[in-house]
């Protein structure tokens, strides 16, 4: 089963949960405060070596995240 990331709508805690694909869209209780948590977009970073041997990011996009500028990716489902 896949691992999905969730963000609590109350305390903003971020956690992972193993769920079936059919249940991935359902809210999940926060392990910290028991409030409902929404599925979050998983963000990862990929690097490669440049011709000069330096590690450089691969791909595009902003690793930033939410409009609050906190980098949590909340609200991205």
Residue appearing with tokens 């041997």? 53
In a domain, 71, yes or no: no
Question: Is 23 within the bounds of a domain?
Answer: yes
Whole-structure pTM value:
0.56
Q: Domain for residue 46, yes or no? A: yes
What is the SS3 string spanning 6-75?
Answer: EEECCCCCEEEEECCHHHCCCCEECCCCCCEEEEECCCCCCEEECCCCCEEECCCCCCCCCCCCCCCCCC
pLDDT in tens, 11-69: 999 999 999 999 988 999 999 999 999 999 877 778 888 888 888 887 654 444 444 44
In a domain, residue 65? The reply is no
Query: Does residue 66 sit within a domain?
Result: no
Look up the domain containing 17 and give its range. Answer: 3-57
Q: Would the pLDDT of 75 be above 70?
A: no
36: which 2 tokens?
């409902």
Give the count of domains, the chain. Answer: 1
Q: Answer yes or no: is pLDDT of 8 > 50.
A: yes
The backbone region for 57, taken as left when phi is positive above 0, alpha when psi lies in -120 to 50, beta otherwise, is beta
* Residue 62: inside a domain: no
Residue 16's pLDDT is what? 93
Q: Is residue 70 part of a domain?
A: no
- The more confident residue out of 45 and 71 is 45
């Amino acid at each position: 089963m896949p691992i999905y990331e969730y963000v609590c709508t109350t305390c903003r805690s971020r956690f992972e949960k193993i769920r079936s694909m059919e249940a991935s869209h359902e809210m999940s209780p926060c392990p910290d405060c028991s409030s409902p948590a929404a599925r979050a977009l998983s963000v990862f970073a990929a690097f490669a070596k440049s011709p000069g041997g330096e590690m450089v990011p691969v791909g595009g996009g902003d690793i930033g995240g939410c409009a609050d500028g906190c980098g949590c990716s909340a609200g991205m489902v």
